[in-house]
Amino acid sequence: MPAQAYSGKECVCQFRRGICDQSCVRDMLATPFYIACLRLSGRRALVVGGGDIGLEKVEGLLACGADVTLVAPEAHPALQELAAEGSITWVRRAYEPADLEGCLMAIAATDDSEVNIQVFNDAEARSMLINVVDVPPLCNFILPAIVRTGPLAVAISTAGASPALAKRMKREIGEMFGEPYATLAILLNDVRGWAKGTLPTYQDRKEFFESIVNGEPDPIALLRAGDVDAVKDLIAAAQSSYQPA
């Protein structure tokens, strides 16, 4: 189970059961999550907590272009450096509800359960996205393990059941779907404008791209062999010969 929610430990969730009995997480594995990719560029995100986990969350948000505000009385040296160079805004004090104003999402990563619960309640009251690290009942979204290669992103979630398994899957998926897939995605994106301007219907465009991706010779095999030009030739041949229905 998540690191901060296991039977016998002091309760860390909003139900305040005293000693955790895991009742708050029993439905997690049966919960259907709506998977989405968020465009965070230029959007405000709040991180409460300046420790190692806070640093991890800040770095993940910065990688996606978010405008990050950190609220914490003290912060990891790396977070201090990010603030000093202007990459994040560091509000050096305890959390206040007004810190949420104007933010799309908040992530609480403190070791104080009462602070985490307050951040959750305040965010929920504003219908915001909120994640309290390792406490599923204090989250309305979860953060999956992510494999990123160029424009490709693969998300892996075990609904909190086993982070170790998610880590293994991340490694294996990264090995399976690596640079050749990212390169093909870029090459196909380069002809999307042509396809939209030339092929009249969605079905025509779908068939065009599938004829390349699933055709022979296999573009992924060619890219694994380092033959980018051969794939470009495949795409050009498809453009010249494809006739919409």
Model confidence pLDDT, tens digit, residues 106-148: 999 999 999 999 999 999 999 999 999 888 788 899 888 888 8
Angle (CA) 108-113-119 rounded to 5° is 40
**Residue 176 vs residues 98, 170, 182, 202: alpha-carbon distances, Å:** 45, 10, 12, 30
Q: What is the pLDDT of residues 227-240, one digit of tens each?
A: 999 999 999 999 99
Largest CA distance in the chain: 70
The token pair that represents 73 in the structure block: 């009385």
Query: What is the Cα 3 distance to its own chain's centre?
Result: 20
Nearest to 155 by CA among 146, 164, 163: 146
pLDDT average, residue stretch 189-205: 92
Name the range with the highest mean pLDDT among 9-13, 31-35, 164-168, 213-217: 213-217
d(CA 180, CA 116) in angstroms, rounded, equals 42
Q: Is the pLDDT score of 163 beyond 90?
A: no
Count how many Cα atoms sit within 13 Å of the Cα of residue 189 in the half-sphere of its side chain.
Answer: 9
The token pair that represents 162 in the structure block: 């086993």
| pLDDT at residue number 2 | 41
Q: Is the pLDDT score of 29 beyond 90?
A: no
Q: Is there a contact between 12 and 5 (Cβ–Cβ < 8 Å)?
A: yes
pLDDT band at 14 (very low <50, low <70, confident <90, very high): low
pLDDT average, residue stretch 135-164: 84
Query: Which segment of 55-69, 131-145, 170-184, 199-213 scores lowest on mean pLDDT?
Result: 131-145
Q: What is the pLDDT of residues 78-115, one digit of tens each?
A: 999 999 999 999 999 999 999 999 999 999 999 999 99
pLDDT band at 18 (very low <50, low <70, confident <90, very high): low
Q: Is the pLDDT score of 242 beyond 90?
A: no
- The mean of the pLDDT values for the chain is 88
The single-letter DSSP state of residue 139 is: B
